[in-house]
Amino acid sequence: AGFQRLSDGSEIRAAVRSSGQILIWTDTSLHSMQFIGPPFTFGFKQLGRQCGCVGQHAAVDVDGVAYWMGASGGFLKFDGSVQTIPCTVEDYVFNDIRLVPEIFASVNSDFNEISWFYPSSNSNEIDRVVTYNYLEHLGQTMVYLLNLMLQIIYLVLQLQQHLRFKV
Distances (CA, A) of 128 to 38, 57, 96, 121, 153: 46, 16, 10, 10, 13
Residues pairing with 114 in the sheet: 107, 132
Q: In this structure, which amino acid lies at residue 87?
A: C
Interval 43-84: pLDDT, tens: 889 999 999 999 999 999 999 999 999 999 999 999 999 999
Candidates 71, 76, 68, 118; CA nearest to 96 is: 118
Residue-level pLDDT at 7 = 84
Report residues of the chain scoring pLDDT below 70. 1-2, 137-154, 164-167
CB neighbourhood size of 66 (10 A):
24
